[in-house]
Amino acid sequence: MQVARTIQEAREQVKQARSSGRSVGFVPTMGDLHRGHLSLVGRCRELADYVVISIYVNPLQFGPGEDFDSYPRDEDRDLALAERAGVDLAFLPSDRELYPGDTSVVVTPKRLADRLCGLSRPGHFEGVLTVVAKLFGIITPDVSIIGQKDFQQAVLIKRMVADLNLPVDIEVAPTVREEDGLAMSSRNAHLSESDRGYARRISRGLAEAVAAYRGGERDAGLLERRVTGALGTGEELRVEYVEVVSAKDLEPVARADADTVIAVAAHVGGTRLIDNIILDRPDPDLEKALHNWRA
Amino acid sequence: MQVARTIQEAREQVKQARSSGRSVGFVPTMGDLHRGHLSLVGRCRELADYVVISIYVNPLQFGPGEDFDSYPRDEDRDLALAERAGVDLAFLPSDRELYPGDTSVVVTPKRLADRLCGLSRPGHFEGVLTVVAKLFGIITPDVSIIGQKDFQQAVLIKRMVADLNLPVDIEVAPTVREEDGLAMSSRNAHLSESDRGYARRISRGLAEAVAAYRGGERDAGLLERRVTGALGTGEELRVEYVEVVSAKDLEPVARADADTVIAVAAHVGGTRLIDNIILDRPDPDLEKALHNWRA
């Protein structure tokens, strides 16, 4: 595995791979790699000959008071995991390399950012889209794999690619979960054991809503209540939102269909967790967790 | 010369050119081609093997009450001129092709747009950067040639490429002028004969400022007064701005140097005209015009 720390090094490595006729796949990450990231790498290897991963905690997408400073970073571990997963090139730029001066031009979501996570994180998605556009400009991938867990982010990246005609295909890969159903996240490390028990309610609530949907329930309000019922009203888990929305434009729907997403954000201890499910898309790890609960 | 009207056609043509090892140059235009555009094409042919031009009057960069509807359009003439100039591919997308739905994600100038032309044309540069980013995404040029006449636009496109790490080189080519010094512009067609006489004051004022600079004048206020003096105070030419700014960040300077630009916007009749000069960069057509005036 090659490691590039400058834009020029990364471009040269990619150029070399391309010159030998290989297609380029790309997985952007903020590091602290877990099985979720590695599943994106695995899918990327199926779709492209040369797999690039970026590891960069992007300051532009963190607001004041958010967890930029405490965001977990472990470069040696990340590089070992990436290499073992079959990554060809790891790109680890410094802040100075990616943002050498004041940023004058950014990528802005006009719509789609004024809801869900965007409400509590103003500027977050501008930061996400700007850094992803930059990384796409540096790596020039043919295909990029994005995790479904950050659903609004995935929708916005797809919209950016469509609206700006960026020459890259985006694939959204299913959420990878712990055995108990909790969606994999670098932030799970902040959870105490009791927090972990509360956090589990999120995926359990989503699973109950899916079960109701499969049982014929289409009323969005009732599906939402399945989730909120599972989350409870205590201080141990504070709900930020539970929304039943269209997977395309994130607009709330009154009646659920195959293209409906249920998205949740909640705070457990000091940790903000998000999760979601697309009603008609299989979520193998959630099925497994359901099976475990029932056993 | 090939003509592409869809994104897919354009991409296929470019892909074919690339597969035969040719580098790709690109000149974005709004059509109504004049010698200014053709000089950009000429320079592009020097720098790239395969030359693409786009002809598209971009609604996103026109404000309400601006001249989107009256902007001159003559496709047959444009295509004939482009072919004669040695263009390999002309891309003429429809509005529907470039903006099929509502645009959710745009490219926004945070700074650099809140001055000069940006003051009277809110949203203009967001529209410019968004369409240029889209065209770069479709054509994926190695190099793109931008005219100096729209100086703030050129600075912003260069900043976009730098800030978003777009994989393209930008070259800014000198302004082409009429014999009397008037900067070439599609909007000159709107000028009556007497308007034309007034409009000439703009380039004459810039030439006088350059002469003063060459004579040793460095005081930005005095250089500015050379221009405003030439423009006059009558209703026949209404000055929107005369600014002495840094070519890098468009910030006003107190003392002029090689990197200083004098930029002008003025209204003659119903027509808004802009022009500029970089103090230490040769402007061959302005020299010629000066020579004509003196003769």
Tell me what pLDDT residue A292 has. 82
- Total residues belonging to chain A: 295
Residue B194: CATH number of its domain: 3.30.1300.10
Cβ atoms of A106 and B163 closer than 8 Å: yes
Cβ atoms of B280 and B261 closer than 8 Å: no
Of A91, A277, A99, A27, nearest to A174 by C-alpha is: A277
- Total residues belonging to chain B: 295
Angle at A235 between CA A229 and CA A236, to 5 degrees: 80
The answer on pLDDT for B165 being more than 90 is: yes
Q: Is residue B179 part of a domain?
A: no
Tell me what pLDDT residue A290 has. 83
Q: How far apart are CA B175 and CA B275, in angstroms?
A: 9
* Alpha carbon B279 to chain centroid, angstroms: 18
Q: Is residue A119 part of a domain?
A: yes
Q: How far apart are CA A111 and CA A101, in angstroms?
A: 28
Cβ atoms of A137 and B132 closer than 8 Å: no
Listed residues B173, B206, B230: the one ending a domain = B173
Of A219, A213, A202, nearest to A286 by C-alpha is: A202
CB of A111 within 8 Å of a chain B CB? The answer is yes
DSSP string computed for B1-53: -EEE-SHHHHHHHHHHHHHTT--EEEEEE-SS--HHHHHHHHHHHHH-SEEEE
Rg (CA), chain A: 19
CA distance A262 to chain B (A): 21
Tell me what pLDDT residue A111 has. 85
Contact A159 B105 (CB under 8 A): yes
B69 and B108 share a domain?
A: yes
Rg (CA), chain B: 19
CA dihedral B183, B125, A59, A35 (to 10 degrees): -110
Listed residues A173, A200, A229: the one ending a domain = A173
Q: Is residue B180 part of a domain?
A: no
A16 and A150 share a domain?
A: yes
Question: A105: which chain B residues are within 8 Å (Cβ-Cβ)?
Answer: 107-110, 112, 129, 156, 159-160, 163-164
Please tell me the total count of domains within chain B. Answer: 2
A169 and A211 share a domain?
A: no
Q: For residue A140, what is the nearest residue in chain B, using CA coordinates?
A: B167
Q: For residue A100, what is the nearest residue in chain B, using CA coordinates?
A: B163
Cβ atoms of B222 and B255 closer than 8 Å: no
Q: How far apart are CA B279 and CA B223, in angstroms?
A: 11
Question: B163: which chain A residues are within 8 Å (Cβ-Cβ)?
Answer: 103-106, 134
CA distance B261 to chain A (A): 19
Residues of chain A short of pLDDT 50, as ranges, are none
Tell me what pLDDT residue B293 has. 78
Cβ atoms of B148 and B175 closer than 8 Å: yes
Tell me what pLDDT residue A161 has. 98
Q: Is residue A47 part of a domain?
A: yes
Q: Which amino acid is at B185?
A: S
Q: Which amino acid is at A234?
A: G
Residue A87: CATH number of its domain: 3.40.50.620
Between the CA of residue B263 and those of A157, B251, B271, what are the distances in Å?
38, 12, 17
Phi, psi of B146 (to 5 degrees): -120, 140
Given CA atoms A137, A139, A144, A150 in this order, what sign does their dihedral have?
Answer: negative
Beta bridge partners of A107: B107
Contact B105 A134 (CB under 8 A): no
Q: Is residue A180 part of a domain?
A: no
The answer on pLDDT for B295 being more than 80 is: no
Q: What is the pLDDT of residues B36-93, one digit of tens each?
A: 999 999 999 999 999 999 999 999 999 999 999 999 999 999 999 999 999 999 999 9
SS3 state at B202: helix
B10 and B155 share a domain?
A: yes
Q: For residue B101, what is the nearest residue in chain A, using CA coordinates?
A: A163
Contact A106 B105 (CB under 8 A): no
Q: Six-digit token pair at A14?
A: 């990619």
ipTM of the complex as predicted: 0.95
B217 and B150 share a domain?
A: no
Contact B163 A111 (CB under 8 A): no
CA dihedral B14, B18, B22, B27 (to 10 degrees): 30
Residue found by looking up tokens 């008071």 in the block: A65
Q: How far apart are CA B90 and CA B13, in angstroms?
A: 10
Q: Is B124 one of the catalytic residues?
A: no
**Backbone conformation region of residue B71, classed left if phi is above 0, alpha if psi is from -120 to 50, else beta:** beta
Output the pTM of the full model.
0.96
- The residue segments making up the domain with residue A250 are 186-294
A118 and A235 share a domain?
A: no
Question: A163: which chain B residues are within 8 Å (Cβ-Cβ)?
Answer: 103-106, 134
SS3 state at B143: strand
SS3 state at B81: helix
CB of A133 within 8 Å of a chain B CB? The answer is yes
Strands B24-29, B50-55: pairing is parallel
Q: For residue B137, what is the nearest residue in chain A, using CA coordinates?
A: A166
CA distance A19 to chain B (A): 11
Q: What is the pLDDT of residues B105-143, one digit of tens each?
A: 999 999 899 999 999 999 999 999 999 999 999 999 999
Q: Is residue B21 part of a domain?
A: yes
A106 and A191 share a domain?
A: no
A192 and A69 share a domain?
A: no
CB of A108 within 8 Å of a chain B CB? The answer is yes
B165 and B195 share a domain?
A: no
Q: Is residue A130 part of a domain?
A: yes
Listed residues B128, B148, B173: the one ending a domain = B173
CB of B160 within 8 Å of a chain A CB? The answer is yes
B212 and B115 share a domain?
A: no
Contact B107 A104 (CB under 8 A): no
The answer on pLDDT for B294 being more than 90 is: no
A6 and A35 share a domain?
A: yes
A18 and A94 share a domain?
A: yes
The answer on pLDDT for B267 being more than 80 is: yes
Q: Is residue A179 part of a domain?
A: no
Tell me what pLDDT residue A294 has. 79
Phi, psi of A270 (to 5 degrees): -95, 10
Q: How far apart are CA B61 and CA B81, in angstroms?
A: 25
CB of B111 within 8 Å of a chain A CB? The answer is yes
DSSP string computed for B144-199: EEEESSSHHHHHHHHHHHHHTT-S-EEEEEPPPB-TTSPBP-GGGGG--HHHHHHH
Question: Hey, which residues of A are catalytic here?
Answer: 37
Burial of A259 (0-12, 13-18, 19+ CB in 10 A): middle
| A·B CB contacts under 8 A | 87
Q: How far apart are CA A47 and CA A188, in angstroms?
A: 29
